[in-house]
Structure 1
């Protein structure tokens, strides 16, 4: 019995040694690629501005708030990569509109923190890439009903966001508070400024979401404009792209968008993908509006 146990131990040892030798020889021929994973804090920049306005980084509370957002967002790698890819698709559409409307280009990053440049709807009812509330959209001239919702049309939604931001800037006198009000609303922001007798976003006591909002906006901008510093390897050729489109004007009712799509050489899925503002399978169009339908070439 003892001999059997001894023989088993010796046999197992021989096999283990053989495996180690073979593994070592394989590693010598095909050495494993080193993939270090380093988690570390990042040094805050000594100076930072957002929409052309300096952040008071000499204040400890401001430093801590910004540091939190840089850490949280820089280590959310999957989300950042998706936002980078979508940015390559949509920033070329957004930036010229901002330029024509006199809005600082940094506001394009606001769409990233609002929706990640996705056509989503919030629990409060804010919709589209710019997360516009229905009342705000209607005030800006968007068509919003059960069949059409232009909050999902990038160009028109961007112009509606510009209209809001310009009005907020005129009211508050700076872009930082205009951005904060995009989250809280102009009335709520103005009320808190009056109640607390201050005139700066950085001096306001706010709800947690709005208190983080401007810092998150600044952090996402800083990370995306300094990718190497935060360990990202990304090339614009890896981003998402829009296809080339033809535009067809529709001025009448459409009984079936499914049939309309097939008549124009596309599927209903493609029609809804390229024209997400279409919210129904038909178009009544009792007001005889003109709608530009994008059809991939």
Structure 2
């Protein structure tokens, strides 16, 4: 048998190389052992099926080091004791969460970061803090400008779902590259990279540790990462905390739809078959009643409604799709003068442009004004991108002046408005906050009041 096998082996070798008399087959000595049957083990088959829901998909991407502290446990109890509020918050996130998880996976970033808007804004893209941070990622005006988020008279991209998410993830990645640690990156997102850098340098000089838990920082930042960790723990195992998360499918919620003409928000919503309020939940960046295509070439619509919008828009025969356009003030003017010039009631002009009473329109101000039936030209790109509402305080004795006031304990927009007998909407506008904002005790605020009653208001302070 050995001789026969040797011939077979030699024959096989000759198939791969030219035959030569000097080539001697290397045949092992001794009897060959018979081939034994065996069973392969340890080869797990990886399923390629998509995750059944978005929470499962998100959990698979958790990769940040865990923080274990009493602060985390405190926040776990806090969230778990409010199951209804937690469910509403997760339900609110269902419109945006799939997009954010997709972006994180595409960038190779930890999917825990998709929970950060819960900490920042409870996933409310229209949220505005008393410090003037806006959107679900809570960008301050200057930081938003640095990350190319447009803020003009007609839109605020700090609230835009796509733009703000892009900017937030860019910023978080930048901070991680800077500090090499996700907990420090998160602290810097909340406190500022300069503040974290100085805290690290201080500890280094003192021979102390430089981890997140080692640094001396404000209470808000000290609680910031524990809040995120608590939410991560709850999402990882909601049953263990006795809570229920809203069902969120592992699929797109919205579709991006092109806008090629200036269009009223109300018309877009009507053609899509959604309410205007629901439209603004996906498109919260638009301040006014009209979308200007030169600066906003696309909108977001729920998947099915996007198809409805496209079909209905193709049937639209009216050449004018927008009721409003932009007029630029040639000089400083009273609002009443502008109203007369553009042919609209003064109160309408004040309302649509959110101009406080008693203010003048400054030269170069971009104002929304009614569009005439014959005007089919859309707003130019430069104005749509850069238009600003420029106002000036009136100097007349019969108008108003700017007064800096100090917030009392528990002060809100409503209480400040009552204290100075002005409209709550004006207080919110003057201080660039939401209508329901609450101020910090001692925070300096702005109120415009009539000159003739200044002495009386001063006594009230």
- The number of aligned residues is 237
* Partner Cα separation in structure 1 for residue 124 and residue 98 of structure 2: 16
2:342 equivalent in structure 1? none
- Please list the CA deviations of residues 13-46 of structure 1 after superposition, one character each: whole Å capped at 9, or x if unmatched: xxxxxxxxxxxxxxxxxxxxxxxxxxxxxxxxxx
1:24 equivalent in structure 2? none
- Find out whether 1:52 has 2:64 as its counterpart: yes
The equivalences for 1:163-182 within 5 A come to: 163-182=170-189
From 269, 281, 290, the equivalent of 1:273 is 281
Normalising by structure 2, report the TM-score. Answer: 0.47
Counterpart selection for 2:240 from 204, 209, 229: 229
Paired with 2:227 and 2:70, the residues of 1 have a C-alpha distance of 12
Give the corresponding residue for 1:204. Answer: 215
For the residues of structure 1 that align with 2:286 and 2:174, how far apart are their CA atoms? 28
How do 1:80-99 and structure 2 match up within 5 A?
Answer: 80-99=86-105
Q: 1:249 to 1:192 in 2, by over 3 A?
A: same
Please give the alpha-carbon distance, in whole angstroms, between the structure 2 residues aligned to 1:208 and 1:51.
Answer: 26
The residue aligned with 2:384 is none
Give the alignment's TM-score, normalised by structure 1: 0.70
Match of 1:282 among 284, 290, 310: 290
1:10 alignment partner in structure 2: none
Q: Which has the higher strand share?
A: 2
CA distance in 2, matches of 1:194, 1:164: 22
1:210: Cα distance to partner? 0.4
Residue in 2 that maps onto 1:214 = 225
Distance across 2 between alignment mates of 1:189 and 1:129? 23
- Matches of 1:152 and 1:51, distance apart in 2: 28
2:139 paired residue number:
132
Residues 214, 280 of structure 1: alpha-carbon distance in 2 compared, 3 angstrom cutoff: same
Is contact 2:72–2:230 with CA below 8 Å preserved after alignment?
yes
Q: Kindly indicate whether structure 1 or structure 2 has the higher relative contact order, using CA contacts under 8 Å at least 6 residues apart.
A: 1
SS of the equivalent of 2:129 reads coil
Which runs of 5 or more residues in structure 2 are unaligned?
Answer: 1-61, 309-461
Matches within 5 A, 1:140-179: 140-179=147-186
SS in 1 for 2:96: helix
Match of residue 43 from structure 1: none
Shift of 1:273: 3.5
What is the CA–CA distance in structure 1 between the aligned matches of 2:63 and 2:299, rounded to whole Å?
34
Q: Are the counterparts in 1 of residues 257 and 298 from structure 2 also a CA contact under 8 Å?
A: yes
Mark the runs of 5 or more structure 1 residues left unpaired by the alignment: 1-49, 58-62
Other-structure match for 1:113? 119
2:71 aligned to 65, 74, 81, which one? 65
1:249 aligns to what? 258
Asked whether the 8 Å contact 1:51–1:107 carries over to 2, the reply is no
**CA distance, structure 2, for counterparts of residue 220 and residue 51 of structure 1:** 14
Cα contact 2:88–2:246 (8 A) shared by 1: no
Deviation of 1:164 (Å)? 0.6
| 2:299 corresponds to | 293
